[in-house]
Chains A and B, each alone.
Chain A
Amino acid sequence: MGISFLAPLFLMGALAVAIPVLIHLSQKTKKEAVRFPSLMFLTRVPYKEVRKQRIRHWLVFLLRSVAILLLTVAFARPLLENSALGVVGIADARENVIMLDQSFSMSYGPRWDRALDAARRVVDGLRPDDRATLILFSDRAEMVEPPGRDLVVLRSVIDQLRPTHRSTRYGPALQLAEQVLRESELPHREAVIITDFQKVGWDEEVSAKLPQGTQLTRVDVSDPDPVNIAVADVSLSRDYVSNREEVTVLARITNQGPEPAAGLQVTLDVDGQRSAERVVDLAANDAVAVRFPPVPLPQRDVRYVIRAGEDAMPVDNAYHLVVSPGAPISVLILQHPSARAEESLYLERALQIGREPRYQVLTKRVNELVPSDLDQTAAVILNDAPYPQRESGRSLRRYVEAGGGLLVVFGQRVGAGTWPVAMNDMLPGSIGDPVDRLAERGGTFSVADYDHPIFELFSTPRSGDFSQTRVFRYHRISQQTSATVLARYDDAGIALAEVRLGQGKVLAWTSDMANSWNDFPLQPVFLPFVHQVVQYLAAYEPVRPSRTVGQLLDLSRDLVTDGVTRTETASSSGELDLVVTAPSGERWVERAGSPDRLLELEEQGYYEFRGLGAGDELLVRIAVNVAAAESDLTTVDAEEFASAITESGGASAAASLVATASPEERERRQGLWWYLLIAVLLVLVAESALANRAGRTKRKTTE
């Protein structure tokens, strides 16, 4: 049995053994003379006699030398070659990865208790030499590695675990497990997956494979025929009756079990009060849509909860919403001073049809524009009208620069020469003479950029055909460099172009919208096109009544669009320190000004946001629901699962790993330095005792 050292350079420290030698040889010699009143009683003593007596207390000297030598050897990290001490340990050691499903489907009945029991059993079966890593997964995976491989710590971690409200994805957990197992130097690798094997989380294309030789243990905690009623989805439709907004809730209820659910009670609670009830019959593995009667919506945010039945997994039996009153987009249409009464008829009609969102249209002659008209306006359409003059014109420019949206429609009344030169930068290019396509029986136009928010809606096939439009005349525009062309005529002329001005945006439509130079207003795409243009100019973001667990909330952006701007006190919530209350009641503060004010939504229910120091006033409430797909408890075949995630062959990998265990690992397992340090400690204790004793003896003789 040989011995080697991981850090042999530390053996140079053995030279330090000279220190006690020097101490013992030199400690009794003083260079300074001792002043004494009279030497009349002192006789001369030859100095050589001193040297003969220098090293005394040989035992103390030996102990000190031994302590230094042991310390040096301990620092050199010794390890025994071919020692049973190291090989036995490493040959039997196992790398264990325990993957524990924490998705909300695990809260079904006693599944979670079964899972914890299984995890505890695995931990209890581990030996001291084994290494264990716990991977908790849902739609994401996180690794819990107890410090110092302490199994007691790992067990206490398991005891404190709870299922989350997240959905299932096996991929991240398997990737993490693969990484841990591949990096392990231990000969035996074992993976345990404790899950309900939900099919919804299984991706057959998953690339992660557990390494060869890994022994996979599957712990299936699912139930044979689970019954699960869930509110899978809710949609809202708004209507206005006598200028009063009403909301109709349509809920989709699913039965994911083999048994029919008869007499299932579905309820709608509004702000905690029961508003409506429906009783439905659901066949096995069936879904039904339940429509509730319209509910008047007050001018504030209202909590809606739809509940359906009771079962072993109550999380998905409720669906939470925060319904906000629909705020209309105010649009100002400016006409030519000599415009006819219904010259903007097509635009007005198109905007009046809007429901979600609604549009509030104000039509004026351009010469009647006053700056205050722009205060509450989300978008301005200059419909074949000249640019406003004097203060009104300057106000319109300031409005755009501050973030407003302007659509300029060039028709028969305006064109080259009618646009003030000072405002040329508000256009995507200089406007030219009209182009007459009448001789060709009109041209058509097509979208140049389907990725633009205006045309995104029409990007899929059969979702809007602009080519049916016949354009007989249009104004030629010579494009400026900063402008973006969004639509072109078939002769390459620009139909729609955009230019940015300050914070705002200006769109220029080069033909009219009055069914004169083209028949676009008569086309089916005209109405959604106008809606898209106005929503784009108004920077409209629909208010989401609910979000899904796992989504990220950007507190400085999403809260504003989720209705904070509707109340004066909350208008600056993006700059406020926010007190966040989670559905579980946990509260914390999100500080303003932090670069990433992101909040990951972890729980189902209502997240409430209050301003710090602003009393109890609620700024925003956000509804969060679990992912509907997770309610499907159908399982994947466990054999298929196992074969898909393990590499075949390589059963004897363990044997080859014994030889390749690194010296560092063997040294770590042998831990000889630890014993050496204990020996050093004992030697030093003995040295202290002996030195004290010697000191006392000397003092006694002195006295």
Chain B
Amino acid sequence: MKASQFLDPVVLARIDNLALLARTVVDGFINGLHRSPYFGLSVDFAEHRQYMPGDDIRRVDWRVFGRTDRFYVKEYEADTNTNFSVLLDISRSMDYGTGKVTKLDYARYLAACLSYFSRQQRDRVGIVTFDSDIVDLVPPSAKHLDIVLHTIDRTKVGTVGTLEAPLLKVAETVSRRSILVLISDLYEEPDTILRAVNRLRHKGNDMIVFQVLDPAEIEFPFTDAAHFEDLETGERIPIVPATLRDQYLKLMGDHQEALSRRLVDNQIDYCQFLTSKPLDYALFQYLSRRERMSRVR
């Protein structure tokens, strides 16, 4: 089986163990792409690691060198690590999928992969799940990967979702500068989304927004006239897709464009993931962009 096939969301859906899933996806392109925002301030010794070309020679542990005749670098928790939290939208609209994987499933895989990936980077990982309010909150910690993965694993679909209220609460709880990844389908007006996200960003957090959508939401392939039911509100309206399709596509395109433009203008990373795309592809796309941005900064 090819790796790309294995990383297909449908294939991944068969893996129950999120830790294994995350490792499967992340292993292979794990290269450090971000720097610690709190360089050298912590004194919490973590471990030694072998000296690598490019490391600051001031951090070589000479005593160890004296004993072993090898170069080891002392590492401290805060030296290379940052807080990394996933803000996972579990509202009902995320429970949609025309294939075998729903948007929520995809978002869970993505959250697990990112958490695992960050932990590999020695970040402290945490997670917040929310719908109209915060449902679960795991504060970032170096020892919380298992709890994070377990939380993701037992996440169930919530109720009606909003962004503003729960993200406001998150902004109140985050005390250290963190990398915050918002995973949502972003069914709100761009202004509302920007307002909610900016609150976090303005507190010094590095904000990343992942929008997860099903291909049907982008392509609107429906042909038969039927009642369409809103997953969150349960509201039903009669729809003739043939007449409505163009209008829908235009509105959807405008929404995506507005989101992208507004978020990027505010220096917020924004990336759209389709549930039909392989996870590694999505991650790679994001991380590449992230690296380019970091070089620019």
Interface residue SS majority, chain B: mixed
Q: Which B residues from 243 to 287 make CB contacts under 8 A with A?
A: 243-245, 247-248, 251-252, 255
The answer to the question of A39 belonging to the interface, with a C-beta cut-off of 8 Å to chain B, is yes
The answer to the question of A703 belonging to the interface, with a C-beta cut-off of 8 Å to chain B, is yes
The answer to the question of B103 belonging to the interface, with a C-beta cut-off of 8 Å to chain A, is yes
A32–B227 Cα gap in the complex (Å)?
Answer: 7
Q: In chain B, what residue has the closest Cβ to A40?
A: B187
17 additional A-B pairs beyond A35-B231, A39-B233, beta carbons within 8 Å, are A30-B226, A33-B236, A34-B227, A34-B229, A35-B229, A36-B230, A36-B231, A37-B103, A37-B231, A37-B232, A38-B93, A38-B230, A39-B228, A41-B251, A42-B239, A45-B239, A50-B240
Option from B222, B230, B240 in Cβ contact (under 8 Å) with A39:
B230
A40–B221 Cα gap in the complex (Å)?
Answer: 17
Option from B223, B236, B243 in Cβ contact (under 8 Å) with A49:
B243
A32–B225 Cα gap in the complex (Å)?
Answer: 11
Residues of A close to B240: CB separation below 8 A? 45, 49-50, 53
Q: In chain B, what residue has the closest Cβ to A51?
A: B225
A41–B240 Cα gap in the complex (Å)?
Answer: 14
**B4 CB to nearest chain A CB (Å):** 24
A37–B217 Cα gap in the complex (Å)?
Answer: 8
**B248 CB to nearest chain A CB (Å):** 5
Beta-carbon contact of B221 and A42 below 8 Å: no
Option from B224, B231, B233, B244 in Cβ contact (under 8 Å) with A28:
B224
8 A-B pairs whose Cβ atoms sit less than 8 Å apart in the complex:
A33-B229, A34-B228, A35-B231, A37-B185, A39-B237, A42-B244, A42-B248, A44-B238
Q: Which B residues from 141 to 161 make CB contacts under 8 A with A?
A: none
The answer to the question of A29 belonging to the interface, with a C-beta cut-off of 8 Å to chain B, is yes
A703–B187 Cα gap in the complex (Å)?
Answer: 23
Residues of B close to A44: CB separation below 8 A? 237-238
Q: Which B residues from 205 to 223 make CB contacts under 8 A with A?
A: 214, 217, 219, 221-223
**B150 CB to nearest chain A CB (Å):** 27
Residues of A whose CB lies within 8 Å of any CB of B are: 28-30, 32-47, 49-50, 53, 698, 702-703
Residues of A close to B93: CB separation below 8 A? 37-38
Task: Count B interface residues, CB 8 Å.
Answer: 37
A618–B25 Cα gap in the complex (Å)?
Answer: 84
Interface residue SS majority, chain A: loop
**A43 CB to nearest chain B CB (Å):** 7
Residues of B close to A34: CB separation below 8 A? 222, 226-229, 239
Residues of A close to B217: CB separation below 8 A? 37
The answer to the question of B51 belonging to the interface, with a C-beta cut-off of 8 Å to chain A, is no
Residues of B close to A42: CB separation below 8 A? 228, 237, 239, 244, 248
Option from A30, A38, A45 in Cβ contact (under 8 Å) with B187:
A38
Residues of A close to B248: CB separation below 8 A? 41-42
**A382 CB to nearest chain B CB (Å):** 101
Option from A33, A38, A40, A698 in Cβ contact (under 8 Å) with B223:
A698
Beta-carbon contact of A702 and B230 below 8 Å: no
A383–B94 Cα gap in the complex (Å)?
Answer: 120
**A299 CB to nearest chain B CB (Å):** 86
Beta-carbon contact of B225 and A33 below 8 Å: no
Residues of A close to B222: CB separation below 8 A? 34
A39–B231 Cα gap in the complex (Å)?
Answer: 9
**A39 CB to nearest chain B CB (Å):** 4
A30–B228 Cα gap in the complex (Å)?
Answer: 11
A35–B237 Cα gap in the complex (Å)?
Answer: 11
The 9 A-B pairs with the shortest beta carbon distances in the complex, nearest first, are A37-B93, A33-B227, A41-B251, A38-B187, A33-B229, A30-B226, A37-B96, A50-B225, A39-B230
Which of A28, A41, A43 has the most chain B CB within a 10 Å cutoff?
A41
Option from A29, A39, A49 in Cβ contact (under 8 Å) with B235:
A39
Beta-carbon contact of A37 and B244 below 8 Å: no
Residues of A close to B225: CB separation below 8 A? 28-30, 50
Binary per-residue interface labels of chain B (70-101) against chain A in the complex, 1 for a CB within 8 Å, 0 otherwise: 00000000000000000000000110100000
Option from A30, A43, A45, A702 in Cβ contact (under 8 Å) with B221:
A702
Residues of A close to B238: CB separation below 8 A? 44-47, 50
Beta-carbon contact of A33 and B228 below 8 Å: yes
Beta-carbon contact of B255 and A41 below 8 Å: yes
Residues of B close to A53: CB separation below 8 A? 240, 242
Residues of A close to B251: CB separation below 8 A? 41
Residues of B close to A41: CB separation below 8 A? 247-248, 251-252, 255
Knowing A45-B243, A49-B243, the reply to whether A703 touches B221 (Cβ < 8 A) is yes
A497–B245 Cα gap in the complex (Å)?
Answer: 113
Beta-carbon contact of A30 and B224 below 8 Å: yes
A43–B185 Cα gap in the complex (Å)?
Answer: 20
Knowing A37-B231, A38-B93, the reply to whether A43 touches B247 (Cβ < 8 A) is yes
Option from A29, A45, A702, A703 in Cβ contact (under 8 Å) with B244:
A45
Residues of A close to B214: CB separation below 8 A? 37
**B74 CB to nearest chain A CB (Å):** 50
A698–B228 Cα gap in the complex (Å)?
Answer: 21
Knowing A50-B240, A703-B219, the reply to whether A37 touches B187 (Cβ < 8 A) is yes
**B230 CB to nearest chain A CB (Å):** 4
A703–B94 Cα gap in the complex (Å)?
Answer: 24
Knowing A37-B187, A37-B214, A37-B217, the reply to whether A43 touches B244 (Cβ < 8 A) is yes
A49–B185 Cα gap in the complex (Å)?
Answer: 32
Q: In chain A, what residue has the closest Cβ to B235?
A: A39
A53–B241 Cα gap in the complex (Å)?
Answer: 12
Q: In chain B, what residue has the closest Cβ to A54?
A: B225
**B41 CB to nearest chain A CB (Å):** 44
**A695 CB to nearest chain B CB (Å):** 10
A28–B185 Cα gap in the complex (Å)?
Answer: 30
Residues of B close to A40: CB separation below 8 A? 187
A698–B235 Cα gap in the complex (Å)?
Answer: 29
A34–B220 Cα gap in the complex (Å)?
Answer: 12
**A697 CB to nearest chain B CB (Å):** 12
**A223 CB to nearest chain B CB (Å):** 87
Q: In chain A, what residue has the closest Cβ to B230?
A: A39
Knowing A40-B187, A42-B244, the reply to whether A29 touches B221 (Cβ < 8 A) is no
Residues of B close to A45: CB separation below 8 A? 237-240, 243-244
Which of A36, A42, A46 has the most chain B CB within a 10 Å cutoff?
A36
Residues of B close to A28: CB separation below 8 A? 223-225
**A699 CB to nearest chain B CB (Å):** 9
**A308 CB to nearest chain B CB (Å):** 90
Residues of B close to A49: CB separation below 8 A? 240, 243
A42–B237 Cα gap in the complex (Å)?
Answer: 9
Knowing A32-B226, A33-B227, A45-B244, the reply to whether A38 touches B239 (Cβ < 8 A) is no
Beta-carbon contact of B228 and A702 below 8 Å: no
A46–B247 Cα gap in the complex (Å)?
Answer: 16
A32–B237 Cα gap in the complex (Å)?
Answer: 12
Residues of A close to B244: CB separation below 8 A? 42-43, 45
Option from B226, B243, B252 in Cβ contact (under 8 Å) with A33:
B226
**A406 CB to nearest chain B CB (Å):** 95
Residues of A close to B245: CB separation below 8 A? 702
**A366 CB to nearest chain B CB (Å):** 103
A43–B222 Cα gap in the complex (Å)?
Answer: 15
A53–B240 Cα gap in the complex (Å)?
Answer: 10
A40–B231 Cα gap in the complex (Å)?
Answer: 11
Residues of A close to B232: CB separation below 8 A? 37-38
Which of B214, B219, B224, B245 has the most chain A CB within a 10 Å cutoff?
B224
Knowing A41-B252, A44-B238, A698-B223, the reply to whether A36 touches B243 (Cβ < 8 A) is no
A33–B93 Cα gap in the complex (Å)?
Answer: 16
**A657 CB to nearest chain B CB (Å):** 63
A96–B232 Cα gap in the complex (Å)?
Answer: 85
A656–B281 Cα gap in the complex (Å)?
Answer: 90
A276–B232 Cα gap in the complex (Å)?
Answer: 117
A47–B227 Cα gap in the complex (Å)?
Answer: 10
A471–B85 Cα gap in the complex (Å)?
Answer: 141
A469–B67 Cα gap in the complex (Å)?
Answer: 153
Residues of B close to A47: CB separation below 8 A? 238
Residues of B close to A46: CB separation below 8 A? 238
Residues of A close to B96: CB separation below 8 A? 35-37
